[in-house]
Chains A and B, each alone.
Chain A
Amino acid sequence: MTALTTGRRSMRGRVLAQRWLLGLLAALVGLLFVLPAIWMLLGSLRPGSDVIGSVSPLSWNTLIPDVWTLDNYASLFGPLRFGQALINSLVVGFASVALGLAISIPAAYALSVFRFPGRELVFAVLVVGFMIPFEAIAIPLAQIFTQWHLDNTYIGLILPGIGNGLAIFNLRQFFLGIPSELHEASRVDGASEFRTMTQVYLPLSVTPVINSALLIFLAQWSAYLWPLLVVSDDNIQVAAIALSRTFSDTSFNFGQMFGGALVISVIPAVLLLVLQRYFTQSVATKGLK
């Protein structure tokens, strides 16, 4: 064996050990973050008051139930009408994403590709837009929507969610990184701006489009104050508010509450898992080759 081959073998060993270490670290970090959620999950499979009853002293029973039951989920999807609420949230979420992307992508494109006076001013307006805390404007806005008979409608829930300055900001940052040569080349080939946007920029932007879609979706998915003020009909009410049905002023069912919270979280989490495979493409590998 020459010194070269032993050198290579030990380097491979080092890389392997490094990967093992990183893998362990990643698993540890992942577990740390998800452990409280696991506690909530197992808590939702216990009878109502067992979650609190088992909190102290710390033992395996704190995490692992001794009595397992699906009663909480039966209540959630039965008398607490979570199923309908989830459907409402999904409808609002997906519609908001579709409409939101339809207006955000062109806006981000214009803000990064076009050069015109006042460009930075418009961008500033959009940034200021998403910095305004919603609580500051919720009541008057809700009253206006009610006057226009948009209360208790899906449209009333969707509209405030489609103008998401953060989603536009995210796309603009990405578009700024796409080499302008691509744009010039496309225009030289005779394509309109719209075609350039849809056929050149968009295919390169799968990841940021997904991220902006997630932004819009999560913002609508977790919205509480707006649905509270604008929806009073149970059939249209969304999941975030439905979670409040698991407790009243004199009773609090932790098992149901945890179960409801996790049911609400499952959909975005699964969405991310499914969309993850789009996260590995990069401009460099797709763009100029």
Chain B
Amino acid sequence: MEAVQVIEAVGIPQGVPTPPRPAASPAAAREARPGRARRRRVGRTWLMAAAFLAPAVVTILLIRIVPFIGAVISTLHVRDGIGLLAEERFAGFQNYIDLLSDPLFQATLGRTLLFNVIINPLQIALALVIAVLLTRRVPACGLWRMAVFIPCTIPLVGSSIAWGVALRADGPINGILQALGLPTQPFLSSPTQALASIMLVASWVGIGYWMIFLIAGINEIPDELYEAASLDGAGGWRSFWSVTLPMLKRPLLFVLVADTVANFVLFVPMQMLTGGGPQNSTTMLMFDAYRRTYTYSQPNQGATATVILTVVMLVIVFVQFRLLKEDAR
């Protein structure tokens, strides 16, 4: 049987052309009637949608968006004096100019972008590989899934501190390297390795999380597609590329966007393990914003850094949506 015919029978219209349905249903006939009836139905749809959406939208508006607008407004102000009790006065884009012309901040911005360009695809790819592995009919795969998932349930403070001990110059990781005959590494004390070490910690924590969503996506792919592909002569690799990946587009978009956000707002490992060093090599945008707001008590500048971070994230996420776009339904 042709793959296309299988999909038609199963009825999953995912990037694969389906033959048009016969326009015999009463719903389709209703669509054809023009004018007032259609406008009434659109109005009813809007009302229905509002009812379904209202609680969520109101909650998110009140708890996230509105306070954020307040934060954005604060970025247009500076204070005469220090700290949150000092008087604010309007200063336009002064904060943005100050920050964006500071070479340290520029370096932080560049470093953050670099960090995310490397770590996001890496984590997703690894999560995908492991998800595929753990959806084969492997004995005790439920146990291994939990094993991979456990790191993301451990409080990040605890994980960071544990990894801080493990990555010591005389710690277990270097001990294992030595046992394997490899030279010991400075890890967190080296300006070149510290960021990679933080990526290691972040990945250990994050991969299990994304794997769960990808496993759910993989399990949604009907077996018939794989059977059809193998009957067509596709081996393991080809069926992965031609069946698994296209069918995973939607979960992949979700995981990619969520992972991007998670990595952009990550700051606890830097705070616990390196304080932004050595030599500023692990100072990321979120850590910098956190430090300005909560350590230095410079709320307006901290908010400015956060707004810049959010804008950058928005741009990247927008691009990701475009790349993994699907046809409008």
A residues contacting B by CB (< 8 A) are 19, 22-23, 25-27, 29-31, 33-34, 36-37, 39-40, 51-52, 55-58, 62-63, 102-104, 106-107, 109-111, 114-117, 119, 122, 125-137, 139-141, 144, 159-160, 162-163, 165-166, 168-170, 173-174, 176-177, 179-181, 184, 187-188, 193, 207-208, 211, 214, 218, 221-222, 224, 240, 243-244, 254, 257-258, 260-262, 264-269, 272-273, 276-277, 279-285, 287-288
Given A106-B56, A110-B48, A136 contacting B138 (CB threshold 8 A):
no
- Decide if A193 touches B52 in the complex (CB within 8 Å): yes
Query: What are the 5 tightest A-B residue pairs by CB atom distance, in nearest-first order?
Result: A58-B175, A261-B158, A284-B222, A30-B144, A163-B59
Q: Which of B86-94, B103-111, B163-171 contacts A (4 or more CB under 8 A)?
A: B163-171
Q: CA separation between A55 and B163, bound complex, in Å?
A: 12
The interface centre, meaning the residue of B55, B61, B158 with most chain A CB atoms within 10 A of its CB, is B158
Q: Residue A180 contacts which of B140, B141, B179, B329 (CB distance < 8 angstroms)?
A: B329
- Decide if A163 touches B153 in the complex (CB within 8 Å): no
Please give, as numbers and ranges, the residues of chain B lying within 8 Å of A104 by CB-CB distance: 56
Say yes or no: is B156 at the interface (Cβ < 8 Å to chain A): yes
Q: CA separation between A30 and B137, bound complex, in Å?
A: 15
Q: CA separation between A103 and B58, bound complex, in Å?
A: 10
Please give, as numbers and ranges, the residues of chain A lying within 8 Å of B45 by CB-CB distance: 114-116
Nearest Cβ distance between residue A54 and chain B, in whole angstroms? 10
Say yes or no: is B157 at the interface (Cβ < 8 Å to chain A): yes
Q: Which of B188-196, B208-216, B275-283 contacts A (4 or more CB under 8 A)?
A: B208-216
- Decide if A257 touches B158 in the complex (CB within 8 Å): yes
- Decide if A22 touches B138 in the complex (CB within 8 Å): yes
Q: Residue B150 contacts which of A57, A122, A130, A269 (CB distance < 8 angstroms)?
A: A269
Given A22-B133, A207-B216, A39 contacting B162 (CB threshold 8 A):
yes
- Decide if B254 touches A169 in the complex (CB within 8 Å): yes
- Decide if A257 touches B52 in the complex (CB within 8 Å): no
Say yes or no: is B33 at the interface (Cβ < 8 Å to chain A): no
Given A22-B133, A176-B250, A272-B149, A116 contacting B42 (CB threshold 8 A):
yes
Say yes or no: is B145 at the interface (Cβ < 8 Å to chain A): yes
Q: CA separation between A211 and B250, bound complex, in Å?
A: 15
Q: Residue B309 contacts which of A114, A126, A133, A163 (CB distance < 8 angstroms)?
A: A133
Please give, as numbers and ranges, the residues of chain B lying within 8 Å of A267 by CB-CB distance: 153
Render B232-276 as a binary contact track against A, CB cut-off 8 A, 1 for contact.
Answer: 000000000000000000110110011001001100000000000
Apart from A58-B174, A173-B251, A287-B11, what are 18 other A-B pairs with CB-CB below 8 Å? Answer: A34-B147, A36-B166, A55-B165, A56-B171, A57-B170, A129-B61, A131-B310, A131-B314, A135-B286, A136-B303, A140-B70, A169-B254, A177-B14, A184-B25, A211-B216, A261-B154, A282-B222, A288-B10
- Decide if B55 touches A103 in the complex (CB within 8 Å): yes
Q: CA separation between A103 and B56, bound complex, in Å?
A: 5
- Decide if B52 touches A173 in the complex (CB within 8 Å): no
Q: List 26 A-B contacts (CB under 8 A).
A: A22-B133, A23-B140, A26-B134, A30-B148, A33-B151, A34-B151, A36-B204, A40-B158, A57-B170, A110-B48, A125-B61, A131-B317, A132-B65, A133-B286, A133-B310, A135-B265, A136-B302, A137-B70, A159-B63, A169-B258, A180-B329, A218-B152, A260-B158, A272-B153, A272-B212, A282-B222
Please give, as numbers and ranges, the residues of chain A lying within 8 Å of B153 by CB-CB distance: 218, 221, 264-269, 272
Given A26-B133, A165-B60, A179 contacting B12 (CB threshold 8 A):
yes
The interface centre, meaning the residue of A109, A132, A140, A176 with most chain B CB atoms within 10 A of its CB, is A132
Q: List residues 94-143 of chain B with CB under 8 A from any CB of chain A.
A: 130, 133-134, 136-143
- Decide if A243 touches B157 in the complex (CB within 8 Å): yes
Say yes or no: is B64 at the interface (Cβ < 8 Å to chain A): yes
Q: CA separation between A144 and B63, bound complex, in Å?
A: 11
Closest to A267 in B: B153
Please give, as numbers and ranges, the residues of chain A lying within 8 Å of B154 by CB-CB distance: 37, 40, 261-262, 264-265
Given A109-B52, A132-B68, A211 contacting B213 (CB threshold 8 A):
yes
Closest to A106 in B: B52
- Decide if A258 touches B162 in the complex (CB within 8 Å): yes
Please give, as numbers and ranges, the residues of chain A lying within 8 Å of B230 by CB-CB distance: none
Render B285-329 as a binary contact track against A, CB cut-off 8 A, 1 for contact.
Answer: 010011001100001001100110110011001000000001001
Nearest Cβ distance between residue B18 and chain A, in whole angstroms? 10
- Decide if B250 touches A174 in the complex (CB within 8 Å): yes
- Decide if B219 touches A207 in the complex (CB within 8 Å): yes
Please give, as numbers and ranges, the residues of chain B lying within 8 Å of A139 by CB-CB distance: 84, 293, 299
Closest to B262 in A: A166
- Decide if A33 touches B48 in the complex (CB within 8 Å): no
- Decide if B63 touches A265 in the complex (CB within 8 Å): no
Q: CA separation between A265 and B205, bound complex, in Å?
A: 12
Render B40-74 as a binary contact track against A, CB cut-off 8 A, 1 for contact.
Answer: 00100110110111011101110111011011000
Please give, as numbers and ranges, the residues of chain A lying within 8 Å of B216 by CB-CB distance: 207-208, 211, 279
